[in-house]
Structure 1
Amino acid sequence: QLCFAQVLPQYHVALDDIPGICPNQNLTSDVSACLSSNCTIPNQLLAERFAKDTCGAISRNRSREVRVVTWTFFAFAVVFVAARFVARPQRFKGSGYGTDDWTILACMALLVPFCAVIQAMTDNGLGADNYTLSANEITTMLEEFYVFEILYTCLIMLTKVSILQLYLRIWTEGAVSKWFRRTCWIAIIIHLCTLLAFALSFVWQCGPVSYSWTQWDGLHSGHCIGRAGHIYALGAVNIAYDVFVFMLPLHNFLKLNISWRRKTGVCLIFMAGLVVTICSIIRLQYLVKIGHSSNPTWEYYWSVIWSAIECNLSVMCTCMAAMAGLLQRLYACLTG
């Protein structure tokens, strides 16, 4: 009321003069500036909600889109992983289970809570403007986003570890140079160390830890590392690792004693993983607001949705080689 009492007389309008207040962008801008100077952030949001409701503004909400995309891709990931495990038993002429299969099973164990956390974030306002939410909903959503970041880090690294383990199964000792296998082992260790380093840095990104999800309201004290830079660093490292992992075996593929048609098919299966890299690159442009957004429930929407696509696609890509073998055996069985 204080801000309206200060600003409205300057524009010669009364508090009940809705047609004179709502279309006036300069007036609403001055009221917002006054609120920012004199009110807490939760009270600013209450005032914004009152103003939007009074003026009949349409609230934005994309929560449903996040849920649909996340669970659709998750359903495909489940199908791909199930097909992978069906293809592996030796009684079905598979190669048997290996460490790469157990690693991807661990990824699925992480993917379930990852998608569940996204669902919980949408239940608490992800995809909606923050003025439509309560302070408790915003805080809860940001706490869930904190968990989301850690799970994302684990998933993107472990899927690449699974692929490197698959390379070690395909190219056994004696069938390929020692350099290639040593490179795979070194890469696995580097990926696991990177996972541990970034996961721990996300856990301790703020002090106290709870400041990660309470700093938005301006009512709590604490400090954080440069969160946007931190997330950009992970994104850049992830993209570099993607390119390395998917380019690493190309030389060995070209040396395989199979037809060029089959070589092309095998290369395409592994190169399909570069689609995941494209998702990572697209995701990067939406990370700029992380940590210092005035409307996180709305502005985190795109980064979350592209993260969901990337993680689910990563799991699917690790299963493509096993699925291709299963489809070949099914085709041979059906055609006699």
Structure 2
Amino acid sequence: MGWTYNTKDPDAPTIGPMITGVCAALTIVSLITVFLRVYVRALMIKAWGVDDYLVLFTWIGCAGFAIITIIQTKWGLGLQMLEDLPEENIYNFGLYQYMGAPFYITSILGFKLALLFSYLRFIPKGIYRNLTIGVIVACCLFHLSFLLVQINLCQPVALQWDPTITEGSCIKGVPFYTSMASLTICFDVIVMLTPFPVLIKSRIQNRKKLVLLGLFALGLFITIIQIIRIQTVKQLANYLDSAPLILWSSVENNLGLIVANVPTLAPLVKYYSERSTGDDSNKRGTGYPTGSRDVGSRYAMKSWTKSGGKRGSVGNGLRSKNGALELGSVHDAAEGSSFEGHVVKGNNSTDTILDHRHNEQPGITKKVEVVITRHARA
């Protein structure tokens, strides 16, 4: 029995197994990055947010698209010759192709929104924050319109998969997909470059700045995938020509999700790097036991409050003199307790993003070593 159902020639040439392998492998890799992100955000630094929920939503879209694509290969996707596609397969072939489109569109929207909402964690109030919110709204509107047109590409809708329907009309596929892919590229570039002005102006170490810029620039690889995908769109002439398009679509949404997750894994890399080198200098004098809680207090990137500081994701925090909340925060504060915090030793160096004394913006201040004492009120 061949790979494709109902084929007269069991050895009919097909790339169905290759499509299946690529989709399955990329979906598993993206799932691993999602698990790592959940571990970092929910357990290590306890700074779970909207962007993390969007990542879970995006992976569901990626997995749904991969599953439908793999099933579709059994009905003919990947066959190299049109005459090898059995007529009885056309209905299911077209139906699964129609079902996969909403999963693809929601997944490419999801990873863009995850990145944009993660930017809001460190972009303070002002023009750049407003522009980021504007990009979020524009992305939602564009992908929603893409989805609505896609699911209503033909009238009646069933004309997209039912060959027995002889009356009706469809929008020309090649011009539509080409224009949508072109606009998607524009949004990819805008989303990936959105944080650059803020990071370039930030007052953090040049090495850290370059690392952050490099991590966000990884997203430009998605643009390359889109350019390749456009070339496959131009080759659409029959049912089987959609195989390269669908394959690159699966590559695109999974890589987009991986790119959205990679920057959030820095605390995990830092923590295990310190453990492997035996560098515990940052752990002494913090008032916390060595472990994930300590890592969370030192590397968390939390939300901004209306007052211009930050809102800690867990417990209560200590405000510095300039109104910014220190990255090292007090965990599980007991009701009715008072806290005193002070730096007891260190090199007095800090990493400040958009320090208000220089840019008239609220900042994030990282204090390396802090001693916390708690005095219960009578």
Deviation at 1:85, TM superposition (A): 0.6
Percent identity (aligned): 23
Deviation at 1:154, TM superposition (A): 1.4
Q: Which of 144, 148, 158 pairs up with 1:196? A: 144
Q: Which amino acid aligns with 2:158?
A: S
Q: Which amino acid aligns with 1:187?
A: V
CA distance in 1, matches of 2:243, 2:266: 34
CA distance in 2, matches of 1:164, 1:153: 17
Q: What is the number of residues matched between the two proteins?
A: 272
Matched, 1:180 2:180: no
Counterpart for residue 12 of structure 2: 59
Q: Which of 287, 290, 304 pairs up with 2:233? A: 287
Counterpart for residue 316 of structure 1: 258
Q: Which amino acid aligns with 1:285?
A: Q
Matched, 1:305 2:247: yes
What does the per-residue CA deviation read over 1:287-325, in whole Å, with 9 as the maximum and x for residues that have no partner?
Answer: 1244xx23x22x211111111100100100000111122
CA distance in 1, matches of 2:137, 2:273: 38
Structure with the bigger percentage of helix: 1
Q: Which of 67, 89, 92 pairs up with 1:116? A: 67
Q: Which amino acid aligns with 2:144?
A: L
Matched, 1:87 2:40: yes
What does the per-residue CA deviation read over 1:244-287, in whole Å, with 9 as the maximum and x for residues that have no partner?
Answer: 11111112111222221111111110000111110011000001
Counterpart for residue 210 of structure 1: 158
Partner SS state of residue 232, structure 2? coil
CA distance in 2, matches of 1:289, 1:196: 26
Deviation at 1:95, TM superposition (A): 5.2
Equivalent residues in 2 for 1:238-317, closer than 5 Å: 238-290=184-236, 293-294=237-238, 296-297=239-240, 299-317=241-259
Q: Which of 99, 111, 116 pairs up with 1:147? A: 99
Decide whether aligned partners of structure 1 residues 256 and 95 sit closer, same or farther in structure 2, where only a CA change above 3 A counts.
farther
What does the per-residue CA deviation read over 1:58-78, in whole Å, with 9 as the maximum and x for residues that have no partner?
Answer: 732110000011111111100
| Aligned 8 A contact 1:214 1:220 in 2 | no
| Aligned 8 A contact 1:130 1:138 in 2 | no
- What 5-or-longer segments of structure 2 have no aligned partner? 1-5, 281-378
CA distance in 1, matches of 2:244, 2:266: 32
| Aligned 8 A contact 2:128 2:198 in 1 | no
Runs of 4 or more above 3 Å deviation? none
Deviation at 1:151, TM superposition (A): 1.7
CA distance in 2, matches of 1:230, 1:213: 18
CA distance in 2, matches of 1:220, 1:189: 40
CA distance in 1, matches of 2:272, 2:101: 40
Q: Which of 75, 86, 104 pairs up with 2:28? A: 75
Q: Which of 48, 53, 68 pairs up with 1:97? A: 48
Say what the alpha-carbon RMSD is for the aligned residues. Answer: 2.1
Q: Which amino acid aligns with 2:24?
A: W
What does the per-residue CA deviation read over 1:115-163, in whole Å, with 9 as the maximum and x for residues that have no partner?
Answer: 1111111111110133223222122112111122222111112211111
CA distance in 2, matches of 1:226, 1:133: 23
Structure with the bigger percentage of strand: 2
CA distance in 2, matches of 1:245, 1:312: 17
**Structure 1 stretch 146-155 or stretch 195-204: which is displaced more?**
146-155
CA distance in 2, matches of 1:87, 1:116: 28
Relative to the length of structure 2, the TM-score reads: 0.68
Counterpart for residue 183 of structure 2: 237
Relative to the length of structure 1, the TM-score reads: 0.76
Matched, 1:326 2:248: no
Counterpart for residue 306 of structure 2: none
